[in-house]
Amino acid sequence: MKRFLVLFAAVLLLMGIVTCILPIRDFEIEGENSYYSPNELKEKILEGKSDRALIYFLQEKFTKHRTIPFIEKYTVSFRGFRHVTAQVYEKKVIGFMRFQQYYLYFDWDGTLVESSEMRLPGIFEVTGFDNDHAVLGDKLKVADPDSFSSILTITQFLDSNKLILNGEEVLLADLTQQIHFSQAGVSVIFGDITVLLGSGKDLEAKLSVMCDTLPELYGRKGTLYLDSYKKGEAHPSYIFK
């Protein structure tokens, strides 16, 4: 019996040693993510940690997760010691402002969620705000808090609507990356064409008019004034100059 117990303990010790030195076999990334490839996320999650299965398991249980830019959080689960799945939740970003060498990224209600020297593709730049003080996690201070609601409406429209240019269907978001605020209201910049939308009133209707009118103007220079839009007008006309 004593010999059996010694043998059993030796087997357990050997299994423990083998388990400690075995590397992680599979590391899967789950969840939608717009900013990193799965391999990039895997490298960032494992950075500074062991790729040995048991050691990584213990690190996950007893150490804090590192901060990853543009990632709200991630959770790690194990299917056996050698199979790991990371569920990633990204921060929702609708725009950014420039401040010195930094890009200040904010979400739908104007909360600053990230400050980075990295410019992300597909995120709209917002100009015209006078903001020289920003704190991560706080709302950006702007004259009109409803501006962020307008930005959300505009970006969603640009990301989901297309127009026909030279016989080809083009996503509006591929034609512009800039939204501008001024005393006259909000504008969307399409190269040499500025579309002045004015206030946030009837904004979706103005955006629809913009989408219908742009093909006729594309290639020209000037400003399309949709700030004069009036709902229900029988024969509307707009200035372009």
pTM of the predicted structure, to 2 decimals: 0.77
| Cβ within 8 Å of residue 210, ≥6 positions away | 188, 195, 197, 224, 226
Calpha distance 112→9 (Å, rounded)? 55
- Predicted confidence (pLDDT) per residue in 37-52, tens digit: 999 999 999 998 888 8
Domain boundaries, the chain: 2-90, 95-240
For β-strands 124-127 and 162-165, DSSP reports them as unpaired
CATH architecture of 95-240: 3-Layer(aba) Sandwich (3.40)
- Predicted confidence (pLDDT) per residue in 170-183, tens digit: 999 999 989 999 99
Residue ranges for the chain with pLDDT beneath 70: 1-21, 132
Burial of 166 (C-beta count, 10 Å sphere; 0-12/13-18/19+): exposed
